[in-house]
Structures are given as structure tokens and as C-alpha cells.
Structure 1
């Protein structure tokens, strides 16, 4: 992955963990495209070819909404990135990208959401309202951040968020999120989430059973103790927008991965590292378990404090 300065730094205190933190989104900034576009798309094609049923799901009756997503993306990408996308006989395409998806997609390679997902670096999740609430009815999730698309498929928001401390059924945050989804109209919104992982893998699933086991055993992610050598910051940029025709909600998730050590070369490294360390140290036991940081919190916080002080040790 890239070693340039991180594009997004929500750990500066602007997007605290385990809060909702939705903010209005400029429509022109809906989708992010960078120099890693083709490598992200290649990775999506590989996942579609190797594990199609784990990265794409759909309910019957969602194809029209999926097509609506594809049409919105087509218009947005051509208008905002004409140097990267062009119109072709089959729709639009990434200039210079490999054709095809590299294999069948669970028998649904003709699904519009699959076509849409192979244009952008974002994962795409479609939510629909019924008597049980807002349910996950279709999704392309090639880059999961410690969750399983199969396990969440068909479930309402309060069940999807059940493992998240403070966001499960009957909590204040669960009710608030449902009301926000209901009230979402033409204005798109965005939020950020972040975590730490021990490699630069984009595909990072975790089942509920694995999550329970991790919380119970609390394994370290850095057995040799060298946080700087192995830690990567995983930032999720999430957007929500209500589709104008179907009234379904499209949830996009864009993953940014940066080695922790790049912060040492950031012009605001002292403030960033200090804020990062402070937030990690304020997480309670349940939150640390959820993030898989229980065993590594102190090592990570100490590394960040050294970085904040400007000690050359943080550059090693």
C-alpha cells in the first residue's frame, strides 16, 4: 500500500470511535478515486472469482434498485472523473482497466450492483425498509472490516450492529440510527471509522464466532512486540444516500490502509499521534475487545506517545 501521508485522519479527534458522527456530504465528493483504483478493482475481481458467495448477496426484487445505483454511479463518475472513465457500448468503463470480472459471481454476474462495484473502490450495500426496520437486502463487500456479509444479509440494522458496544437492539444509538435512516432525504451524509490491523490486507472478514473467540482469548496481533513494523491504520469512509426512485438507502464503504509508521513523517505527527493514543486509552473493555486491541493497547499507545514526542525511536 501507499506510504504517502494519509488522506483521512479521523483519529485526530474529529471522528471518535463508537459514535454516529454523520456529517453532510458535498455531492461532488460522493465517490473517492485515487491512484490505487486499478489495484482495488483487480482485487475485487479476484474475490469475485474465488469466493463469489461471500462477497455478493442479493434478494429477489432488488434488481431495479441495483440498476438505480449503477445509473447514479455512471452519471457521477463521467461528470467528475472524465479523465478516468469513458462511455462504452456496454455502459461506462475505467480507461485502461482489464475487461471482465474474472469469473462468475455466485450465478449473479449480471447483477447491476456487481457492475457498479467494478467501477469504484467503494463497497456497496443496499438497505431497504420493511416492518422489521432497515434491512441489508443486497451488497457487494469485497473489503470487509471485521464482519461477514453472509451473516448480516437480510438482517435489520439493530441486529447488524448487535456486536458493537452500545449499538445493539434496544439501545439509544440503535433507535437513533433507525430514525436517521428514516429521515434521510436528498442530502447525502458521511462518517468515518478506524481500526488497527497487523497487515495490509483489504479483505479482512470476521465471523461472530471468530469475534467471540478473539474477545475471549485476547490474542496479540504483534507477537514480536514491534508495533511500528507491522501495524496498519484502517480507515473506513462511509457514505449514506437515499435513492430517489426506490427510496432504498445506499451505504458505501471506502477503505484506506496506511502503515502506522507513516504518521512519524506527517507534518502534524505530534498532534495526530497524541490524539490517537489518548482515544485508544479511553476505550473501555468491551470496546477494546470489539476492536481486537485488548492485548496490544498499551504497546500501541506507547508507540504513539513516542511518536508524539518526536523521538527518533518512532521512526525505526
Structure 2
């Protein structure tokens, strides 16, 4: 029996089995590893799908959108909105970012500011970096391709993929992995016209400016304001503390993720149309501020109505409140030609004295106001 068993064990078939066994074992292990990787990939894709913000469904896609044919929004805040009031209105997520026919020109204005004046336009830090990552995901990964599919085209999967800006021909990553926080802010500044200011809650729940991408500040020097609370930032604005200080603080605390509110802020800029202003648009009494003689005798060709469309929303993960500012410049010649000169002059004259001085009416008002009141 032992002899028979010995012969059977070393029969040709058994010998082949012994020779192939290591290869079969290796192949089995390879297949097992492959299946495990496939399951991990499926889990990752499912996780990414589940991480989709419930608010994404509120983004209405503009399938036939052509920014080159879109006029800027109609705005006349000097007719409808008082001064030193919150003047807020509810907004929808779809209107968070706006595009119109001036897009390419203003993006070209932003690029050198981001690359050559980063010390003024980009602000990061430990307190704000998590919120920067979250906003990048919200705006660059979720919002832009969903809202403007004719402008922003997703290429590839989440990790390793990119988004192509079909208007500028540039691309940016479809993930925050491998990016510095300054790079995230730069990508945002290079693809949208809006500026973003990050108000982050401190240990006491008070919201403070901790970061920004700010290419078009209207007389606001962002680096010097980092760490300031909402009240401290608005301290120079006459009437703010008395009329708005407490209510604004309470509103920030009550905001829920997904809330969108907006308002308009406006002023006159009488020395050119450039949007990058870190000083010179407002008057600060009690300081050593020097005011150019040009402010008192401006050229009407250099006078503009500067309007800021401002929105506020709260991010769900970090609870940072994002103050979004979109700036518009309209020549006063155009305002007057459209028949709004008198309405604008009357709104300026109705400002409380302190606010008027803050807006520098005491300098340019003697020349500009009578001109606006003239019949066309």
C-alpha cells in the first residue's frame, strides 16, 4: 500500500501540481490584493459621494450661460438703502458668485496683485487655514463647476483631477491635497472677481478677521486688521457702534450654515477707477492722514460710483463667517447720463455729517454735487 501511495504521489499529475502550486498561490494573493483595492476604491468613491453638501442641490446650473453676453447686475443702492444700516436681504446660494461681460478684464487686473502684492492681498494663518481649505472645497470644487458648467469643466476624479477654466484656459486642482493655503487663496483670486474675508470665532465666540484674499479693498488695509473683531474693524465708521454694533455681533452668532444674506455699500471714488485701494477712500480724523489737493478739485472723468455687493454666509465645518465682496465701478458721467445724478446728489447730501466726512464729502462735494444736480 505504501508503494502504491508513493507511486500515486509522484505521478506526473501530482508533480505538475507541486510545480504549479507556488504560482497558483501567488496568483491567488494578487487577486485578493486587487479585490481589496477595488473595495477600498469603491468605499472612497462612496465616501466622496456621501460627503456631497446637502446645499449642493441649491446650486442652479446655467447650462446656456455665456458670460460675454451678461450685463452687470442693476444696482442703485443710493435710492433704496440708507447709510449705516445693515440693509440686508436674503440671498440664495446660486447667486453667491456672479459672472458678467467684464470678467476677463477684472481677472487680468487681479493677477498682478496676487503675484506682486501678496503681502496685501493674501492672508493665511493657523487660526484660518482650516476655513481656507473648506472655502476652497465649497467654491472651487463644488460651486463653480456646478453653477457655471460652460465655464468650469471638471477633468478626472476627485483626487488627481482638475478643473479647467474655459474662459481663461487655466486649470486648478480638484483637491486641496498638496496645496499650501496661500495657493488655495491664489486660485480663488485668479478665478472669481469676489474677495473673501474670513471671520473666525475665537475661544469666547467673538468673530475676528483671520484671513483673506482681497484684491479690491476699498481703502481697507487687510494685514493691519487681522485679529480685529467686527466692532474693531468698523470703529472708524461714524454711527456703527451706536446703531449696529450689538445687532451685528448677535447676527453672526445666530447665523446657520447655508444662510446667505446680502447688502450693498457705496461711495464715490474721485481719483480713478483702480479697484486696489489700501487707503485714500475714507477720512480718519485724529490721524496723520494726508489728503491730496486732487480730492478737492477732481476731474469729472476720474470720478466713479464705487458699489460693493456684500454677502455673508457661515461654513458648516469650521463655523467661519465668510464676508464676500464683489466691487463695481461706474463712471459718474454714466450715472448722470442715465438720469440718476440728482438722486445720487440728494443721497449724498442726506448723509449724517459724520458719515459724510468719513466718505470725504467735505473735499470733493463742493465741485461734484452741483454738477450732479445740473440738468442733462
Q: TM-score, normalised by structure 2?
A: 0.70
Q: 1:296–1:137: structure 2 CA closer, same or farther, 3 Å change rule?
A: same
Q: 1:289 to 1:224 in 2, by over 3 A?
A: closer
CA distance in 2, matches of 1:190, 1:38: 24
With a CA cutoff of 8 Å and minimum separation of 6, indicate the structure with the bigger relative contact order.
1
Secondary structure in 2 matching 1:189: strand
Q: Show CA shifts across 1:127-167 (max 9, x none).
A: 11122711011101110001100111111111111111112
Change in 2 beyond 3 A, CA 1:161/1:222: closer
Distance of aligned partners of 1:15 and 1:212 in 2 relative to their CA distance in 1, 3 Å threshold: same
Deviations 1:208-264 (A, max 9, x none): 99744889766554555543x221111100000011121111111001011111123
Say whether the 8 Å CA contact 2:194–2:324 is kept in structure 1: yes
Indicate which of 197, 201, 213 corresponds to 1:140. Answer: 213
**Runs ≥4 residues deviating over 3 A:** 4-8, 88-91, 98-101, 107-111, 207-226
- Aligned match of 1:157 in 205, 230, 234? 230
Residue 351 of structure 2 aligns with which residue?
283
More helix per residue: 2
Q: Which residue of 1 aligns with 2:259?
A: 187
Q: Distance in 1 between matches of 2:288 and 2:350?
A: 18
| Residue number among 122, 145, 151 corresponding to 1:84 in the alignment | 151
Residue 196 of structure 1: CA displacement?
0.8
Gaps of 5+ in 1: 102-106, 312-316
1:61 CA displacement: 4.2
Partner of 2:176: none
Distance 1:177 1:190, change over 3 A: same
Partner SS for 1:294:
helix
Q: 2:110·2:190 contact (CA, 8 Å) conserved in 1?
A: yes
Q: Which residue of 37, 60, 83 corresponds with 1:17?
A: 83
CA distance in 1, matches of 2:372, 2:282: 31
Report the aligned-residue RMSD: 2.9
TM-score in terms of structure 1 length? 0.83
Alpha-carbon distance between aligned partners in 2 of 1:298 and 1:58, rounded to the nearest angstrom: 42
The number of residues matched between the two structures is: 293
Cα deviation for residue 202 of structure 1 reads: 1.1
Q: Which residue of 2 aligns with 1:65?
A: 131
Q: Which residue of 1 aligns with 2:370?
A: 302
CA distance in 1, matches of 2:315, 2:349: 39
